Amino acid sequence: MPPETDPAPKPQRPALRFFLRGLAISLPTILTIVIVLWLVTGVNRYIIQPTAAAVKYVFAAVVDESVAADSLVVLRNRPELEYCGRNYSVTPETASAFRSLPPAEQTADALLGRSEDVYVPFVYRAVPYDHYARLARVTPADEMPHTAITFYMDFAAEKYFKSAFLLSAFAVILVIVALYFLGRIVSARLGAWTVAQLERNILGRLPVIRNVYGSVKQVTDFLFTESKVEYRRVVAIEYPRRGIWSLALVTGDGMLDVATALEEPTLSVIVPSSPMPVTGYTMCVPRSAVLDLNISVDQAMQFVISCGVLVPPEQKITPELLRERLAQQANAQSAVSASRETPQP
């Protein structure tokens, strides 16, 4: 009987092939947009919005002209006012003046002539009617604030910034300026000492916070430090066993105890995992066991993320280049051997 052979692989259908090609082209763009939107949303939610709320709170404290609601008087036969209906109160002086008017003259116009003495109550505080009307003109009725402090936060935003976009832009500028001056303070000797004491005596002693803060600080220090890494290059090491080469990134010198045990200098390398290079293994390896690769860090990341599909152009193997490299290596080894065998005069 003839030997059994594996059946030939079935060719992909044209429709499926076109779909996979379209997916391969569009997926990087889609994922990039999703990641950028996620970052923008996080920055907006946890940095810009709290800063904008703090700005509105400060401005609200400046323009707050509310009074205690129990210091006002509610008119019995009060006319309706625009935006608030009959939900308003007046000062005792205005109440007395209004009651002294003939019934035919007790109108909304008579009250609005003394609008500075007319207030709209919010639980324990009441805001001037003029302020309430100004915000009510640009705010839907179901979105009006329910407390005096939130009212003045929205009132200050409308008065000084006119739109939420301008307020957010001001918050971004404020954050940038604050970070700049914070960096200048920390760069000074007293500021650096204060931060070190805070990290050592407070953050470094809290049971859960110290672990999270320590890990986050190491990552941020690595990303934003001004000092350059001396050995930031791409290498290959024999891992997980001899004969199998893994791509690695040199991050610095190794540990002293390891170098002492090996009796030679060592390097700290990270072996990134495919297809997510943010994870991997950190190792101390002998300097002599490292093979330098003529590729950039970006090319190495592309190689890892693509699981070896995207090979750098200068590293692609062709029969001609392989024979040329092997010949060069053999010639170099022969020259070294000849130099060693030549007797010294």
Q: One digit per residue, pLDDT tens: the chain, 345 residues? A: 455 555 555 555 677 887 888 887 888 888 889 988 998 899 889 988 999 899 899 989 989 999 999 999 999 888 999 999 999 999 999 999 988 989 888 888 888 888 889 999 998 999 999 999 999 999 998 889 999 999 999 999 998 888 778 888 888 898 899 888 888 888 877 878 888 888 888 877 788 777 777 777 776 776 666 554 444 689 999 998 899 999 999 988 889 999 999 999 999 999 988 877 777 889 999 999 999 998 888 888 888 888 888 888 888 888 888 888 888 888 777 776 666 666 555
145: how many CB neighbours lie within 10 A of its CB? 17
Could you write out the DSSP letters of every residue in 37-102?
A: HHHHHHHIIIIIHHHHHHHHHHHHHHH---EEGGGSB--TTPPPBTTTBT--EE-HHHHHHHHTS-
Chain position carrying tokens 């210091």? 71
What confidence score (pLDDT) does residue 343 get?
58
Q: Domain boundary residue among 113, 147, 163?
A: 163
Q: Domain boundary residue among 112, 146, 163?
A: 163
Q: Does residue 127 share a domain with residue 110?
A: yes
What confidence score (pLDDT) does residue 333 get?
75
What confidence score (pLDDT) does residue 5 get?
54
Residue 21 lies in a domain: no
Q: Does residue 176 share a domain with residue 159?
A: no
Q: Does residue 130 share a domain with residue 210?
A: no
Q: Does residue 175 share a domain with residue 251?
A: no
Q: Does residue 159 share a domain with residue 71?
A: yes
Residue 264 lies in a domain: yes
Residue 202 lies in a domain: yes
How many independent structural domains does the chain possess?
3
Q: What is the DSSP letter of 240?
A: S
Residue 277 lies in a domain: yes
Q: 99 is in which domain, residue-wise?
A: 67-163
Helix, strand, or coil here: 335? helix
Residue 37 lies in a domain: no
Q: Does residue 76 share a domain with residue 155?
A: yes
Residue 136 lies in a domain: yes
Q: Does residue 179 share a domain with residue 104?
A: no
